[in-house]
């Protein structure tokens, strides 16, 4: 009988924290998607509704690119406040980097709006690659790897 009680008790004890952290992470995620959507010169959602595969790929890269570092924050956070701090930091880095990539690769928004899949895949790759790097940086926010002794 203890075989079932211990996991069940752990679940019941941890479930409220799970819901709180999940809610906070989803809130950060939704706000970040909203901010990104209003930051871009082209309207991805309208293009996706119109059947533009390039817009879907580019926006999919944003979704995954924002979710990866946020997932890393969830994994490494020591509590809700820690999650909120690192979640905001990583999402701001992602949003700024996405904006920089969009500006740096001139004509990319126009190409995506015109349905250029190659441009969308390239942009998606940049966004996901950066997300993996940022997520890795969050894995050791105290920079313990650089400490000697």
Please check the confidence at residue 20 and state whether its pLDDT lies above 80.
yes
**Model confidence, pTM:** 0.82
Q: Which helix (DSSP H) or strand (DSSP E) does residue 52 occupy?
A: none
User: How sure is the predictor about 60, in pLDDT bands with cuts at 50, 70 and 90?
Assistant: very high
- Domain residue ranges of the chain, discontinuous segments joined by +: 21-146
Task: Please state, as a whole number, how many other Cβ atoms lie within 10 Å of the Cβ of residue 148.
Answer: 3
Please check the confidence at residue 141 and state whether its pLDDT lies above 70.
no
Task: Please state, as a whole number, how many other Cβ atoms lie within 10 Å of the Cβ of residue 76.
Answer: 16
Residues of the chain with pLDDT > 90: what percent?
32
DSSP at 107: T
**Angle in degrees, CA 90, 127, 53, rounded to 5:** 135
Please check the confidence at residue 2 and state whether its pLDDT lies above 80.
no
pLDDT, residue 108, reads: 84
Cα 7 from Cα 14, distance rounded (Å): 10
Please check the confidence at residue 62 and state whether its pLDDT lies above 60.
yes
State the chain's mean pLDDT as an integer.
85
Is there a contact between 86 and 142 (Cβ–Cβ < 8 Å)?
A: no
pLDDT, residue 101, reads: 76
């Amino acid at each position: 009988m203890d075989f079932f009680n211990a996991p069940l008790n752990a679940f019941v004890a941890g479930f409220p924290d799970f819901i709180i952290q999940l809610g906070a992470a989803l809130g950060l995620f939704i706000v970040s998607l909203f901010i990104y959507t209003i930051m871009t010169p082209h309207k991805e959602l309208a293009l996706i509704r119109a059947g533009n595969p390039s817009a879907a790929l580019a926006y999919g890269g944003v979704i995954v690119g924002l979710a990866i570092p946020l997932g890393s924050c969830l994994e490494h956070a020591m509590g809700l406040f820690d999650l909120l701090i690192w979640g905001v930091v990583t999402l701001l880095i992602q949003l700024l980097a996405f904006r920089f990539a969009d500006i740096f690769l001139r004509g990319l928004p126009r190409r995506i709006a015109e349905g250029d899949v190659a441009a969308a895949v390239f942009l998606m790759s940049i966004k996901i690659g950066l997300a993996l790097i940022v997520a890795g940086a969050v894995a050791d926010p105290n920079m313990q790897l650089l400490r000697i002794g």
